[in-house]
């Protein structure tokens, strides 16, 4: 039986790879979105659609406007003009927490966990519509205890899925950079989103953990979510994306399946500048290690294991051997 993700990828197979391409069933549609800072045009997007149940990558050179586009879509920044609809509803003027409760969440390039709260407390904060947070029901524990129990159970289930269960009661500030990326993804799932927007989920993490995050992103799609993610690692983009949108100088300059994009001269021109003529996939400088991991025969099976004193990352090689690393991510 075809899953919704299979249907989405089949639809995308048949689409013409044009900037602003119309999708059969878009979950996010943005029109005429313009954001400038003084004379700097950060975002100038005429039209963009994100196909439901797809993994869509948003790529482009530094300063292309990717993060600003995320910020505007999720109301962390206000555009000078533009309209965008999520699941058919206009989102202009909607507050970020209301977007989250409607099913549109995002993570940040620099992770935003609360260092002086424990991992489980950070997770609980991600839950929506918490009865106990309203002053009148907060005074009546019988009204919120069962909900709180359900929230904790959901949080623990997600911590298990993201291999963070052993860190449940540790301060978030004690997590490695890679574990914080996992925590942020796990916390975003507390709202049961329909669309999850990940801003550079693999930036600064080691190759083994990148594989783990890669497999989590696929699982999100397999669970029926739509993923829009910003990424600079072209191997990763090629490996997991159903569709790629390319921005440069605020505009969408190309869209298509990963192979269309890798061969698109406008993209090579904008993205690689001085490296014209080379395939994106051959570009060594922007492959920050993932190629090496594949060469080493790593599979997507991996995770974080609690060692005697320190958790460590592992990935299983195709030949059955296990490669593990100390987590050396930024702290």
Q: Is 65 in the site for ligand ATP (CB under 6 A)?
A: yes
Per-residue HEC secondary structure of 102-171 comes to HCEEECCCCCCCCCCCEHHHHHHHCCCCCHHHCHHHHCCHHHHHHHHHHHHHHHHHHHHHCCCHHHCCCE
Q: Is 79 in the site for ligand ATP (CB under 6 A)?
A: no
| Residue of 64, 159, 268, 272 interacting with ligand ATP (CB under 6 A) | 64
Q: Is 67 in the site for ligand ATP (CB under 6 A)?
A: yes
Per-residue HEC secondary structure of 280-328 comes to HHHCHHHCCCHHHHHHCCEEEEEEEEECCCCEEEEEEECCCCEEEEECC
* Candidate segments 60-68, 165-173, 178-186, 318-326, binder of ligand ATP by CB under 6 A: 60-68
Q: Which is nearer to ligand ATP, 16 or 62 (CB)?
A: 62
- Residues 6 or more apart whose CB falls under 8 angstroms from that of 219 comprise none
The contact pattern for ligand ATP, residues 19-58, with x = CB under 6 A and - = no contact, is: ------------------x--x-x----------------
| Residue of 23, 52, 53, 66 interacting with ligand ATP (CB under 6 A) | 66
Enter the tokens of residue 236. 């990763």
Looking at the DSSP bridge assignments, the partners of residue 303 are 314
Report the sign of the C-alpha dihedral through residues 71, 75, 81, 86, in that order: positive
Number of residues that bind ligand ATP (CB under 6 A): 11
Burial of 140 (0-12, 13-18, 19+ CB in 10 A): exposed
Q: Which is nearer to ligand ATP, 59 or 119 (CB)?
A: 59
Q: Is 74 in the site for ligand ATP (CB under 6 A)?
A: no
Restricted to residues 168-187, the positions that interact with ligand ATP (CB under 6 A) are: none
Nearest approach in angstroms of CB 73 to ligand ATP is 12
The footprint of ligand ATP (CB under 6 A) covers 37, 40, 42, 60, 62-68
């Amino acid at each position: 039986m075809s899953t919704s993700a299979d249907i989405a990828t089949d639809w995308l197979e048949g689409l013409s790879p044009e900037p602003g391409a119309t999708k059969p069933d878009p979950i996010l549609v943005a029109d005429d979105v313009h954001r400038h800072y003084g004379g700097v045009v950060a975002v100038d997007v005429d039209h963009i659609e994100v196909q439901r149940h797809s993994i869509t990558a948003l790529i482009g050179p530094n300063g292309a406007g990717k993060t600003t586009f995320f910020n505007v879509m999720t109301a962390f920044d206000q555009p000078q003009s533009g309209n965008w609809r999520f699941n058919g509803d206009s989102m202009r003027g909607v507050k970020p927490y209301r977007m989250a409760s409607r099913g549109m969440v995002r993570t940040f390039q620099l992770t935003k966990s609360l260092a002086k709260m424990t991992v489980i407390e950070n997770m609980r904060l991600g839950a929506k519509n918490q009865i106990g947070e309203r002053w009148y029901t907060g005074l009546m524990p019988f009204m919120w205890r069962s909900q709180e129990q359900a929230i904790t159970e959901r949080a623990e289930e997600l911590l298990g899925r993201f291999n963070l269960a052993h860190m449940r009661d540790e301060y978030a500030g004690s997590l490695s950079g890679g574990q914080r990326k996992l925590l942020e993804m796990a916390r975003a799932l507390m709202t049961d989103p329909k669309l999850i927007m990940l801003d550079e989920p693999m930036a600064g993490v080691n190759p083994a953990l990148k594989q783990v995050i890669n497999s989590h992103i696929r699982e999100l799609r397999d669970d029926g979510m739509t993923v829009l993610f910003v990424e600079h690692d072209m191997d990763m983009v090629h490996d997991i994306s159903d569709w790629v949108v390319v921005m440069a100088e605020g505009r969408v300059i190309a869209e298509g399946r990963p192979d269309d994009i890798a061969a698109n001269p406008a993209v090579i021109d904008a993205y690689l500048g001085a490296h014209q003529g080379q395939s994106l996939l051959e570009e060594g400088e922007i492959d920050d290690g993932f190629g090496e991991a594949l060469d080493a025969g790593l599979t997507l099976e991996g995770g974080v294991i609690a060692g005697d004193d320190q958790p460590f990352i592992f990935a299983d090689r195709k030949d059955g051997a296990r490669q593990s690393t100390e987590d050396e991510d930024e702290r």
